[in-house]
Amino acid sequence: MKTSSRAVWILFLLPAAALVRAENSVFPSVSVVPRPVAVKLLAGTFVLNGQTRIVAVDRESRKIAGLFNDFLLKQDGLHLRITVNRPKRENFILFSQVDSRALPEEGYRLVIGAKSIRIIGQPAGLFYGMQTLTQLLPLGLQPTIELPGLDITDYPRFGYRGVLLDVGRHFFSVTYLKKLLDLAAQYKINRFHWHLTDDEGWRIEIKKYPRLTDVSSYPKDPTTAHGSLALGDEAPHGEYYTQEQIKDIVAYAQARFITVVPEIEMPGHSGAAVTAYPQLACTHSALGNVLCPKEETFTFLQNVLSEVAALFPGRYVHIGGDEVQKDSWRQSAETQAIMKREGLKDEDQLQSYFVRRIERFLTTKGKLTIGWDEILEGGLAPNAIVMSWRGEGGGIEAARQKHKVIMTPSDYCYFDYNQGDPQREPASIGGFIPLEKAYGYDPIPKELQGKERDYVLGAQANVWTEYIATPEYLEYMLFPRLLAFSEAVWSPIEGNDYDDFRRRLPYQFARLDKQDVHYRIPEPDGLKDFYTTTDDHARVELSSLVPAARIYYTLDGSQPTDNSSRYQSPLQIPLQPEQKTTLNLVVIAPGGRRSVVYGATFQRRSYRDAIRFDAKQPGLTFALYEGKFTSAQSIELGTPAVRGITSSFDLQQFSRVFDYGISFDGYLTVQSDDFYEFAVESDDGSVLEIDDEVVVDNDGIHGSRVVTGHIPLRQGVHKFKLRYFQSQGGATLRVNWAGSGGELQPLVGFALYH
């Protein structure tokens, strides 16, 4: 007995690097998310039953042991005795900090042997080891559980692994926030960025300024009022959190090793504050959501932040700083006088002055200041942390200035963006971040080298709630993308494998079903948006990642119901020449929850013949038109302001911000007869034609959106035309293409001629 026990303890004393990297892959029976650093399979199994004891010697270990016991009781009806002494018989689960210093602060060792389960780590590591252990348990109620022998060493890649919830636009109850914190902790998220104020609402009680919640906490849209409170208590006065409720949330998060990061927006996005206290705005300004940088404003903010700092024990306070409508400052004689007094040459420097004053005050409270990447404009405050959302450029610049950075680029980390076809998905703000894209994000930009990379603290997933009013819709947008994100910020990048991640998802879906999480039920495997063929039929084989899900479908364009045909085996879909057939389907989880209606279009058609074109010059001709447009189809009605030749679709080359349109014309060369897919991402409208046929119609005024189309082309040269317009700013234009079965790649100059 002593020899066996000593061997186990020697194993725990080995540093993480001692594990054999050849054994680093996660075994098929292990469906843990995020993927651990190292997993080794051991002989034997551990039997967990009502006779198992939990051993936890110190206070922190007992807290985590209690959380694990609560989990067992809720999921399996088991309630185990917790003791400080190891029982004589070998059937126990040990939580211990002994010999944990060889591990990082959030790291852990989990060894499942035939006679015991041992979790070693500092308090945070013990908690994450417990979370991994819960994911190894089977999901069905059973009095006896057998766990495979495993040796897991694990620790995070990044120390900052965050999720943001915007409650300024839509309010979520205390009860629901606790559920969300449990789910975040389950996937080893350790920061909760609480966006508490915005133009639409002020959600935090400030005792010195009661009008903030008396006036600015009521829902602006009565059709969504209290829609987000379905899972919990009503707000006491309007929709805001009392200071006692905030203390409750902060303590609940701390028990799950989550630091709450409060955000008080300034100087922009401050409409709720200005509504309650109009004197905070600049005089003679029509723009009422920007704070005026006068002494009265700074006194107000210091008083507010004093109460905020006392409520949140974490080191971080986020002060916003994004999208400041500086015209209000330009229009204000009061503001211009401040700029002259302080020797500031422009409004960017004025914003820097504003941020520096707030940062100095927060430093006196022992807090670190975080701001969106706009705080770079005019010069960074000395110790400010930059949260980079407008791509990675702000984060790269800040890191090169030796400032700490949190990456949250909208193209990868904004989980209020669409996950699929916007015509089939619920209403959203736009954009497109499918699960695979979320999984593939690396928070370390390739542009950063050497020690510059050390300034990246981690990354954050954001959910803005302009369109998200209920817990159910919030969960639909967060899950399973939060699982993909958690792996991107926790697991070693060297082992990231999207196919392996998908292999682990069925267990996670079943677990989320059991936890009543309204995750997005993904499209069935084997389903594409568009099928083109020269054959008289198409074969479609489908499967769902959701265990025991049912699939119902129609082929006449109607919406599928439970009375439609049920998918049982591969479909053979007959096709008529030059006609389209529509497949619609719905996936129904075991509990009855339904996916959105997914679909595919099938078309049987002949190839487009190539044309004769011998005089090839690289690039496309372009014509730029100035004016306000609502359709890409109409931009060529005017006279071009500029003509030229270009080899790319990069819009920056045209030095325009909004109110313009561009027509690209030329020829495209394809290397083989094939069915080609084209994908155009644009903000605003775009239309792509090949051989005078509209292949992609992404027209109209809208946010960033991807639309695809397909066309069969013979080898050789084909006419190419792309029209695009921009009306609102935020320009995006990307064109990708692929042959049948290939991955979409950028359409670049070597294939384009004029």
Strands in 2-86 per DSSP E? 38-48, 53-56, 81-83
Q: What is the pLDDT of residue 754?
A: 73
Residues with Cβ within 8 Å of 678's Cβ and at least 6 positions away in sequence, in order, are 688, 690, 695, 696, 708, 709, 710, 711, 735, 736, 737, 747
Euclidean distance between CA atoms 521 and 595, whole angstroms: 5
Cα–Cα distances in Å, from 603 out to 529, 553, 573, 581, 659? 11, 18, 11, 6, 37
Q: What is the pLDDT of residue 7?
A: 31
Question: What are the boundaries of each domain within the chain?
Answer: 2-154, 160-514, 530-604, 620-753
Strands in 16-106 per DSSP E? 38-48, 53-56, 81-83, 92-96
- Residue 179: in which H helix or E strand, if any? helix 174-186
Residues with Cβ within 8 Å of 54's Cβ and at least 6 positions away in sequence, in order, are 65, 68, 69, 80, 81, 82, 83, 92, 93, 94, 95
CATH 3.90.182.10 fits 620-753, yes or no: yes
Q: What is the pLDDT of residue 86?
A: 78
Euclidean distance between CA atoms 253 and 246, whole angstroms: 11
Q: What is the pLDDT of residue 18?
A: 32
Q: What is the pLDDT of residue 750?
A: 61
Euclidean distance between CA atoms 750 and 754, whole angstroms: 11
- What is the strand order of the sheet 705-713 is part of? 705-713, 674-683, 732-738, 745-746
Q: What is the pLDDT of residue 1?
A: 33
**Could you write out the three-class secondary structure of 200-245?**
CCECECCCCCCHHHHHHCCCCCHHHCCHHHCCCCCCCCCCCECHHH
Q: What is the pLDDT of residue 75?
A: 82
Catalytic annotation present for 359: no
Task: Check if the beta carbon of residue 11 is closer than 8 Å to that of residue 117.
Answer: no
Q: What is the pLDDT of residue 32?
A: 97
CATH architecture group of domain 2-154:
2-Layer Sandwich (3.30)
Q: What is the pLDDT of residue 6?
A: 29
Q: Which amino acid is at 734?
A: R
Catalytic annotation present for 90: no
CATH architecture group of domain 530-604:
Sandwich (2.60)
Average pLDDT of each block of 10 consecutive residues along the chain (754 residues)? Answer: 32 32 44 96 93 93 95 87 84 93 95 96 98 92 86 98 97 97 98 97 97 85 41 57 98 98 97 94 74 97 98 97 91 93 95 96 97 94 95 96 97 95 88 94 96 98 97 98 98 95 96 96 90 83 95 94 95 87 94 93 87 83 93 89 92 89 93 92 93 93 85 93 86 90 81 74
Name the active-site residue from 76, 154, 198, 377.
198
Q: What is the pLDDT of residue 580?
A: 85
Angle at 722 between CA 719 and CA 725, to 5 degrees: 165
Q: What is the pLDDT of residue 403?
A: 97
Euclidean distance between CA atoms 470 and 278, whole angstroms: 31
Which CATH superfamily includes the segment(s) 160-514? Glycosidases (3.20.20.80)
Catalytic annotation present for 323: yes
The end-to-end CA distance of the chain, in Å, is 82
Name the active-site residue from 269, 318, 518, 754.
269
Name the active-site residue from 307, 322, 323, 665.
323
